[in-house]
A = this chain, B = another copy of it.
Amino acid sequence: MNVEILTIGNEILIGKTQDTNSNWMAKRITKYGHRLKRITTIGDDLDEISTTLKEILARKPDMIITTGGLGPTFDDMTLEGIAKGLKREIVLNQHAFNSIKKAYESATRRGILKLEGMTKERKKMAYLPRGSTPLPNTVGTAPGVKLTEKNTTIFILPGVPAEMKSMFRTVITPLLKETKGKFIERGFIFTGIGESQIAPYITQIEEEYPQLWIKTHPRIGLSVEVELSVTCFNVENDVELVENAIKKAKKIVHNLNGKIKTE
């Protein structure tokens, strides 16, 4: 599957908050053999959200995951923006309404909140684009949303990391696991060789194994980290492929009088 992430939040664009959600999700999307193609971060702006969603949909990813902008305040406008982008109405979802109500009642009972009952702002979180499936939020109050538009599944998750992670694990991980792809990665640090010195040999390996993605990173001192990875759906053959490429890389390093430091 091709996946895109859309991060929504002024706090990220002003540098107040470091977006750690995308990295957390990227690891998992990759691990289960899928491809994260793009991460886009925009502010809490209705037109910006709607326009950006349309741009992403035009690239036809299999999955879009948005984070942020689901809270009760006026600057949380993700659901409205997504609805606008999809040209769908925003309608009160009774399941979402009930779960929000329950969350606030429970918070009031436990003394975490003073004000019981559904204010206008709390009710706002239950207005979802038509066709939405609300996703339960077991950590916070704002429900997430699952939507389908043509061949793209859209997941709208909260920006609070604990809430995002819990919802991702419950709803998205099982979906990612369904397809049997696997991401195989092997890496070494070579010492005694610099990055630009090893570059022509890496090109040679890449030409021989076009399925592999090979990346070199310079390390402190005269050493270089070489990573070989492949996303495969025929796991056995691809493991062999990676192993063969690694053998070749090692041989080259030995011929250049380099040493393998870690594997």
Contacting pair A114 B75 (CB below 8 A):
no
Is A195 part of the contact surface with B, judged by Cβ < 8 Å?
A: yes
Secondary structure of the A contact surface, majority rule? mixed
Q: Does A148 contact B (CB under 8 A)?
A: no
Size of interface on A: residues with Cβ below 8 Å to B: 67
Chain B residues within 8 Å of A18, by CB:
20, 23
* Contact (Cβ within 8 A) B15 A26: yes
Within the complex, which residue of B24, B114, B194, B216 is in contact with A114, where a contact is CB–CB below 8 Å?
B194
The answer to whether A27 has its CB under 8 Å from any CB of chain B is yes
Closest 9 CB pairs of A and B: A15-B27, A15-B26, A121-B199, A39-B41, A72-B196, A14-B30, A113-B194, A115-B197, A18-B23
26 A-B pairs with CB atoms under 8 Å apart are A11-B215, A12-B23, A12-B39, A13-B30, A13-B35, A13-B36, A13-B39, A14-B26, A14-B30, A15-B29, A17-B23, A18-B23, A19-B22, A39-B40, A71-B195, A73-B199, A74-B202, A74-B206, A75-B213, A75-B215, A104-B196, A111-B222, A112-B222, A113-B194, A119-B197, A121-B200
